[in-house]
Amino acid sequence: MTIRIGILGAARIAPKAVIVPAHDNPDFEIVAVAARDKSRAQAFAAKHGIPQVADSYAELVTHPDVDLVYLALPTAAHRPWSMAALKAGKAVLCEKPFALDAGEARAMVQAADITRRPLIEAFHYRYHAVMRRAVEIAASGEMGRLVEAEAVFNVEIPYSPTELRWLPDQGGGGALMDLGCYCVHALRSIAGCEPAVTRAACRVVLGVDETTTAELSFPNGLQARLHTSMKAPAYLATLHVRGEKGSFSITNFLAPQMGSRFTVEVEGRTREEETGGLPTYHAQLAHVGDVMLRGVTPLTAGADAIANMACIDAIYNAGGYYRSWVA
């Protein structure tokens, strides 16, 4: 069986997230695209060799030739269109951040449970061999009891009136929702349990958080920090974890295929872990194929997606940032 993908939203992320990986994976075929403006969808389809253009979002999510909807719309549209696609019997790969808040995430997951269709959050980094190995090491006990961790993700995102990450009304704006959601997810994945937010600070500019910092306390004793900013001198994506017997550090845990270093130190001995493997987006789509064709349990879905949004909600609340678009 070939999984036929319909792209909902002619977004900049779609080529690297699904189009290129699908071309390299015989389990998949890109068959259709829809955009708010049909002429934009037509231009996108012509550029990327997509055979069909749907007249509307509704037509795409009910299209008989589509098995999997890749949802690349702004976050405010994730709940209604993922639920519409699930109701139509489609699987959904939903871009992060998953929803506007944990309440929306719960409704989406409930719809997936009712329809018995996969609904997967597109945390591509989690599928790379580097992050899989990091979680394995943290859980192995090799470093002893986990003591502290830090995740940082900074990207310079200049303001533009059309840049979604600077638009609060679309729900995906701000450093924590767009960038820091990875930090939250990485720390939760390493800890293997859910944190309490003990402190947070949000620097709000033009209605969104330009920079957010937070401290998290996990029930296994791990104390963690995160920092994320859209105003930074350079790209930075680092993950540091220390246990009672050792530690590890990863540079560019978000996209190891673009250059990464993974160093482990245990009881005075240091080693370099491999950083090769399928690129993150290729690994992610391969996992979606495993879920849909071979019965593998989704890695970033269900309770995990709800918990990540719940932590984001708690950070914003602790940081005193009121999100006007969240009920």
pLDDT-derived band at 324 (thresholds 50, 70, 90) equals low
Name the average pLDDT for the chain.
Answer: 96
Listed range (11-20, 123-132, 155-164, 280-289) with the worst mean pLDDT: 155-164
168 pLDDT above the threshold of 90: no
Which residues, 6 or more positions from 109, have their beta carbon under 8 angstroms from its beta carbon?
Answer: 119, 301, 302, 303, 305, 306
Closest CA to 254 of 241, 270, 235, 273: 235
Record the tokens describing residue 156, joined without a space. Answer: 């310079």
Q: Express each pLDDT in 21-32 by its tens digit.
A: 999 999 999 999
* Structural domains in the chain plus CATH codes: 3-122 (3.40.50.720), 125-283+308-318 (3.30.360.10)
Query: What is the arithmetic mean of pLDDT over 273-291?
Result: 98
Query: What is the arithmetic mean of pLDDT over 76-86?
Result: 97
Report the C-alpha gap between 224 and 213 in whole angstroms: 11
Report the C-alpha gap between 266 and 306 in whole angstroms: 34
Q: State the Cα angle at 198 between 194 and 202, rounded to 5°.
A: 105
User: How far lies 87's CA from each of 54, 81, 177, in Å?
Assistant: 18, 10, 27
Record the tokens describing residue 210, joined without a space. Answer: 């330009």
327 pLDDT above the threshold of 60: no
Query: Are residues 69 and 32 in contact, defined by beta-carbon separation less than 8 angstroms?
Result: no
To the question of pTM greater than 0.85 for the whole model, the response is yes
What local confidence, expressed as pLDDT, does residue 180 receive?
98
Q: Express each pLDDT in 137-156 by its tens digit.
A: 999 999 999 999 999 999 99
